[in-house]
């Protein structure tokens, strides 16, 4: 039954056991070239409040960026870091890298300078696109002999020890995800009427891999918001006749809770996808009522799967809101060390969209990518229908409105406070964000650290979404198991969290 949820045609399983879509282009460059040749004058990119660019103009301007990268000494396989916010410049930088055969390294703009510098240094980037600086510009250049196994981008994940890992994403990974997105959204092979609103960051795999790239392959228009603001989100949906919305549950909750939403014409919206955080069944029902002409679906994936792994179709969205859905047509799933009592084990993924490994981290690659299977670090169960339920995280990851926060990273910062003896960081359930970051600290004897001091310390060293919004102080030592590991469920349940600090 699971395999019948999405179009299963045009698949073949290779000698490595991996299923693949047939008839895919050899590279992202070839994919874009097809769209340019098909409808060069159609609108490709719209920056809200900025320029409108056709497919021909996108290719021409990106090829000049590629020429500029080449003039700067970069050659195929070199890396270029993109430290830009959402907008046309980001898109041109990314495609300039692709046309130059250069590996794009998107950098989270919410990282501190120290965190971003680590990404740039670890990737070995020899060029950095920076805000306020002109894009490189020279005679047009395009490397058009790239192959599916060639590296196209490195997306960095958060690291449990404070050191993020770069997921090496090939052209084939991107292309597989583009086709998966088309199938789970039940879109035709080309759709020039498609208008996709990108309100999430392009440096995330959702914005880039599952919105920008699939829309460009289908010949539609990608409308990019430089910054999210709920009023602008609603106005743009109407004025640009948006047909596809993809975001985290918190954004939809905010949008449909606006008084102005009642007078907002959303009849153009035919697809509403959410993901990246837990969602309440009532919010799903509210979204369906708010967008009555749209198919409403939940999608799940990882940076390591180049975005989409599973999707919960519209027909299942309300009654199975706690499920992330069925596997995509080319995705095989399994459970590692499955508990026979609960049916829960670590979710394993085998698919053509699973990345090639971690950049410059051979040990982490060996531990995570085993015999063709990705060990996701997520604990899950799969029911008799094939529906997947993610029930916990192996490594205590906190999912704050679609942003991954690793507790160890925050705990390491808290440990530097002179008045803190030990600390545990946990996810505090939240109806809107899914989870928020909570910290329980045990002070040094005779010390009384304030919540404001703790938050101020974290703001200095961490991106804003990692800063604890709840801080509790306890005098007793943290509860631990015989092996010395902190019992985080017990810690979480022992605290009356009250209201968030901000």
- Pick the last residue of a domain from 392, 417, 442: 392
Confidence at residue 482, expressed as pLDDT on a 0 to 100 scale: 41
Q: Is the pLDDT of residue 113 over 50?
A: yes
d(CA 224, CA 200): 9
Question: Which tens digits make up the pLDDT trace of 366-414?
Answer: 999 999 999 999 888 999 999 999 876 676 778 899 887 877 778 878 9
pLDDT per residue as tens digits for the range 486-502:
888 889 999 999 999 99
> What is the average pLDDT across 422-451?
92
Question: Do 406 and 378 share a structural domain?
Answer: no
Q: What is the CATH number of the domain that holds 445?
A: 3.30.300.30
Q: Do 25 and 330 form a contact (C-beta atoms < 8 A)?
A: no
* 3-state secondary structure (DSSP) of residue 60: helix
Whether 377 is covered by a domain: the verdict is yes
- Which helix (H) or strand (E) is 12 found in, with range? strand 11-13
Structural domain ending residue among the three candidates 364, 392, 420 = 392
Quote the domain boundaries for residue 472. 397-493
Query: Is the residue at 502 inside a domain?
Result: no
Residues 382 and 436 in one domain: no
Among the candidates 337, 362, 392, a domain finishes at 392
Q: Is the pLDDT of residue 476 over 60?
A: yes
Instruction: Give the confidence band of 473 by pLDDT, cuts at 50, 70, 90.
Output: very high
Confidence of residue 166 (pLDDT cuts 50, 70, 90): very high
State mean pLDDT over 208-217.
Answer: 98
Q: Are residues 235 and 376 in the same domain?
A: yes
Q: Tell me: do 278 and 365 sit in the same domain.
A: yes
pLDDT digits (tens, 9 = 90+) for 220-251: 999 999 999 999 999 999 999 999 999 988 88
Mean pLDDT of 76-81: 98
Total domain count, the chain: 2
Token code pair at residue 305: 């799967």
Please give the average per-residue pLDDT across 253-282, as a whole number: 90
For residues 360 and 401, membership in a common domain is answered with no
* Same-domain check for residues 205 and 337: yes
Flag whether pLDDT at 280 surpasses 70: yes
Mean pLDDT taken over the chain: 93
CA atoms within 13 A on the CB side of 162: 13
pLDDT higher than threshold 50 for residue 200: yes
Q: How far apart are CA 132 and CA 139, in angstroms?
A: 22
> Three-state DSSP class for 202?
coil
Residue 1 above 70 pLDDT? no
Same domain? 187 vs 290: yes
Cα 458 from Cα 411, distance rounded (Å): 10
Shared domain check, 401 and 429: yes
pLDDT for res 250: 80
**So what's the pLDDT on residue 29?**
98
Same domain, residue pair 369 and 480: no
Is residue 501, in this structure, part of any structural domain at all? no
Q: What is the pTM of this model?
A: 0.84
Residue 351 scores a pLDDT above 60 = yes
Does position 286 have pLDDT exceeding 70, yes or no? yes
Kindly report the CATH number assigned to the domain that includes residue 242: 3.40.50.12780
23 in any annotated domain: yes
User: Using an 8 Å Cβ cutoff, are 107 and 119 in contact?
Assistant: yes
Residue 160: pLDDT band (50, 70, 90) is very low
Q: Does 91 lie in the same domain as 175?
A: yes
Does 500 map to a domain?
A: no
Residue 499 lies in a domain: no
Q: Percent of the chain, pLDDT > 70? A: 96
Per the domain annotation, does 339 fall within a domain? Answer: yes
Q: Locate 10 and state its tokens.
A: 């045009």
Which helix (H) or strand (E) element contains residue 456?
helix 451-461
pLDDT at 191: 81
Give the whole-angstrom CA distance, residue 468 versus residue 68. 42
Asked, for residue 289, whether it belongs to a domain, the answer is yes
Do residues 401 and 383 both lie within one domain? Answer: no
* pLDDT per position as a tens digit, 292-345: 999 999 999 999 999 999 999 999 999 998 899 999 999 999 999 998 988 989
Based on the fold, state whether residues 353 and 336 are members of the same structural domain: yes
pLDDT at 68 over 60: yes
């Amino acid at each position: 039954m699971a395999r019948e949820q999405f179009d299963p045609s045009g698949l073949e399983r290779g000698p490595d056991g991996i299923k693949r879509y047939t008839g895919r282009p050899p590279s992202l460059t070839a994919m874009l070239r097809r769209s340019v040749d098909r409808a060069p004058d159609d609108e490709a990119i719209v920056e809200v409040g900025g320029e409108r660019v056709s497919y021909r103009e996108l290719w021409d301007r990106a090829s000049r960026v590629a020429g500029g990268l080449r003039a700067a000494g970069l050659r195929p396989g070199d890396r270029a870091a993109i430290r830009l916010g959402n907008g046309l410049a980001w898109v041109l930088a990314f495609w300039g890298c692709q046309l130059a055969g250069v590996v794009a390294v998107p950098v989270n703009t919410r990282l501190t300078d120290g965190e971003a510098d680590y990404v740039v240094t670890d990737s070995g980037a020899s060029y950095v696109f920076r805000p306020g600086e002109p894009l490189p510009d020279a005679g047009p250049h395009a490397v058009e002999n790239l192959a599916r196994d060639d590296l196209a981008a490195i997306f960095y994940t958060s690291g449990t020890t404070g050191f993020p890992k770069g997921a090496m994403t090939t052209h084939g990974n991107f292309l597989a995800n583009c086709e998966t997105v088309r199938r789970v959204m039940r879109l035709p092979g080309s759709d020039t009427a498609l208008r996709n609103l990108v309100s999430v960051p392009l440096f995330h795999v959702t914005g880039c891999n599952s919105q920008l790239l699939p829309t460009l392959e289908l010949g539609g228009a990608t409308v990019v918001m430089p910054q999210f603001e709920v009023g602008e989100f609603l106005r743009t949906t109407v004025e640009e006749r948006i047909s596809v919305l993809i975001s985290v549950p918190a954004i939809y909750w905010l949008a449909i809770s606006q008084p102005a939403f009642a007078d907002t014409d959303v009849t153009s919206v035919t697809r509403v996808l959410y993901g990246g955080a837990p969602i309440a069944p009532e919010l799903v029902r509210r979204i369906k009522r708010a967008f009555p002409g749209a198919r409403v679906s939940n999608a799940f994936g990882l940076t390591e799967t180049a975005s989409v792994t599973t999707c919960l179709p519209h027909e299942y969205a309300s009654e199975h809101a706690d499920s992330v859905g069925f596997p995509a047509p080319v995705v095989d799933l399994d459970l590692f060390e499955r508990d026979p009592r609960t049916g829960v084990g670590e979710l394993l993924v085998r698919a053509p969209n699973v990345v090639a490994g971690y950049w410059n981290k051979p040990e982490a690659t060996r531990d995570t990518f085993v015999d063709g299977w990705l060990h996701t670090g997520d604990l899950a169960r799969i029911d008799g229908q094939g529906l997947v339920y993610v029930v916990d995280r192996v490594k205590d990851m906190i999912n704050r409105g679609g942003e991954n926060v690793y507790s160890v990273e925050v705990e390491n910062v808290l440990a530097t406070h002179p008045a803190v003896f030990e600390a545990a960081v946990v996810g505090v359930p939240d109806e809107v964000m899914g989870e928020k970051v909570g910290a329980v600290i045990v002070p040094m004897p005779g010390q009384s650290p304030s919540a404001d001091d703790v938050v101020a310390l974290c703001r200095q060293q961490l991106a804003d979404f990692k800063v604890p919004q709840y801080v509790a102080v306890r005098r007793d030592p943290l509860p631990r198991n015989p092996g010395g590991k902190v019992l985080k469920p017990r810690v979480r349940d022992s605290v009356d969290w009250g209201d968030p600090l901000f």
